[in-house]
A and B are shown apart, each in its own frame.
Chain A
Amino acid sequence: ETGVTQTPRHLVMGMTNKKSLKCEQHLGHNAMYWYKQSAKKPLELMFVYNFKEQTENNSVPSRFSPECPNSSHLFLHLHTLQPEDSALYLCASSQNPARSETQYFGPGTRLLVL
Chain B
Amino acid sequence: LAKTTQPISMDSYEGQEVNITCSHNNIATNDYITWYQQFPSQGPRFIIQGYKTKVTNEVASLFIPADRKSSTLSLPRVSLSDTAVYYCLVGDMSGANNLFFGTGTRLTVIP
Which residues from chain A sit less than 8 Å from chain B, CB to CB? 2, 4, 31, 33, 42-43, 45, 48, 55-56, 88, 90-92, 96-108, 110
Query: Which residues of the partner chain B approach A31 to less than 8 Å between Cβ atoms?
Result: 96
In whole Å, how far is B107's beta carbon from the nearest beta carbon of chain A?
16
The interface residues of chain B lying within 8 Å CB-to-CB of A33 are 96, 99
A88 touches B41 (CB 8 A): yes
- The answer on a CB contact under 8 Å between A99 and B43 is no
Contacts of B61 in A (CB 8 A): none
A101 neighbours in B (Cβ, 8 Å): 93, 96
Is B89 part of the contact surface with A, judged by Cβ < 8 Å? yes
Q: Enumerate the 5 nearest inter-chain pairs by beta-carbon distance, A residue then B residue, closest first.
A: A99-B91, A105-B43, A100-B32, A97-B96, A43-B101
With a cutoff of 8 Å between Cβ atoms, the chain B residues found around residue A90 in the complex are 43-44
Residues A48 and B96 in contact, CB atoms below 8 Å apart? yes
Question: Chain B interface: which size bin?
Answer: 20 to 34
**With A42-B104, A56-B96 given, is the CB distance from A100 to B91 under 8 Å?**
yes
**In contact, A102 and B91 (Cβ under 8 angstroms):** no
Is there a chain A Cβ closer than 8 Å to B103's Cβ? Answer: yes
Q: Kindly identify which residue among B34, B41, B94 contacts A102, using a CB–CB cutoff of 8 Å.
A: B34
Per-position contact with A for B69-111: 1 when CB-CB < 8 Å, else 0? 0000000000000000001011111111111111110000000
Measured between alpha carbons, how far is A56 from B97 in the docked complex, in Å?
7
**Given A48-B96, A98-B92, A42 and B42 touching (CB < 8 A)?**
no
Docked Cα-Cα span, A105 to B45, in Å, equals 7
Q: Is B31 at the interface (CB under 8 A from chain A)?
A: yes
User: Would B42 and A108 count as touching, CB distance under 8 A?
Assistant: yes
Cβ B90 vs Cβ A99 within 8 A: yes
Interfacial chain A residues near B100, Cβ < 8 Å:
42, 45
A selection of 27 A-B contacts at a CB cut-off of 8 Å is A33-B99, A42-B100, A42-B101, A42-B102, A42-B103, A45-B100, A55-B95, A55-B97, A56-B97, A56-B99, A92-B43, A97-B96, A98-B91, A98-B95, A99-B90, A99-B91, A99-B94, A99-B95, A100-B31, A100-B34, A100-B92, A100-B93, A102-B46, A102-B49, A105-B43, A105-B44, A108-B42
